[in-house]
Amino acid sequence: MDAVQQRRWFITGISTGFGRELARAVVAAGDKVLGTVRTTAQMEKLAGEGIGAILMDVNDQAAVEAGVQAARARLGGVDVLVNNAGFGMVGAIEALALDEVRSVMETNFFGALRVTQAFIPAMRASGGTIVMISSMAGQVGFAGAGAYCASKFALEGLSDALGEELAPFGVDVLIVEPGAFRTDFAGRSMHGAEGSVDAYAGMQAGEAKKWAAAYSGTEPGDPVKGAQAIIDVIRAGNPPRRLALGADAVVGILAKLDNVRHDLDAWRDASLGTAFA
């Protein structure tokens, strides 16, 4: 697709935060967009900004299939699919109920998978880009955010494999890894474990929700600039597999990669010595 050609975007979760800023930036760039929200009030508010939206829960298979039909009817197809819908979950791993872990995996991982599978047939035929909104937490594990990290690590593993599978059909897969951006993610959108374990009191694992709430509103990342960076990468063509957003993401991911290389080098002989003689 030509760099200046008008693109058609389908973005999940555009009522607030990163998704909303991305939808606004897409419209401002002259592209078409259809996004998903959870209430009619949100849909009406976005309509006032010239942003098309439909009601869709990424955890509802029938609703997702209806979303594909709506994209075909209202946009004529999709060039860029953005899996943005998701939420944060914090709490020490020992304190997390399995149902709490399942809930964040259901939306952040299975929801993105469900939407992607529904759109793949049409995109495989016409090409395009699938954008997975991950996080630096999809590369770096954080105490107190194990469930959220697990959902994003899983999403990134799926996306790497998906990129290999769809490359022959002209479909790119871009994994976006934001650091801390000034949205409501760390505040209203953050879910905390209902249980707790006294042993983690005063530690990051035990106080993650409180610390996230205190940080909310002071994050260094500007979501408007982050949204524009995504559009610029898509329009440039031949997108990378990963796009880190924010200095904290770049520094944190590089530190993780350095640690991985250090461990590989330090234990290379043990690793290579496991083959049959």
| pLDDT tens digits, 15-58 | 989 999 999 999 999 999 999 999 999 999 999 999 999 999 99
The residues, any chain, with a CB within 8 Å of residue 198's CB and separated by 6 or more, are none
CATH class of 8-267: alpha beta
- Is the predicted pLDDT of residue 5 greater than 70, yes or no? yes
For residue 133, give the amino acid letter.
Answer: I
Q: What is the pTM of this model?
A: 0.94
How far is C-alpha 57 from the geometric centre of its chain's CA atoms?
16
Please state, in angstroms and rounded to a whole number, the distance separating the CA atoms of residues 277 and 103.
47
Q: Where along the chain do its domains lie?
A: 8-267
- Sequence-distant (6+) residues with CB within 8 A of 155 are 108, 109, 112, 132, 134, 138, 175
Enumerate the active-site residues.
15, 134, 148, 152
In the predicted structure, residue 181 carries a pLDDT above the cut 90: no
Average pLDDT over residues 226-239: 96
The CA distance from 14 to 34, in Å, is: 9
Q: Alpha helix locations (H) across 48-196?
A: 61-75, 98-105, 112-126, 146-166
